[in-house]
Amino acid sequence: MNQRTKIPADRDQAALAVAQDELSVSAEITREMDALVDEWISQQPDPKPTRAEVVRMALQVFLNLNALDET
């Protein structure tokens, strides 16, 4: 699923700069991984995160852990 951020004309320059810094990435995952993501989401309080938010959170955790390994 490809979602693009649309910024209304009345937003300030800071919001525009953030949106221009975003990048769309797609990846294939196994059915098992998909089921685990869905299970994790179901255990979260409302409002539940989207799959995209979960993937971004997981990637950030991975990158932070690897950054710690390099120090």
Residue 37 three-state SS:
helix
Residue pLDDT, tens place only, 54-63: 999 999 999 9
Residue pLDDT, tens place only, 10-65: 545 555 555 667 788 889 999 999 999 999 999 999 999 999 999 999 999 999 98
In the chain, where the domains are located: 26-69
Q: What would the 3-class secondary structure string for 13-31 be?
A: HHHHHHHHCCCCCCCCCCH
The tokens describing 54, both together, are 């979960």
pTM across the whole model: 0.62
Q: Count the residues in the chain.
A: 71
pLDDT value, residue 68? 73
To the nearest whole number, what is the mean pLDDT of the chain? 80
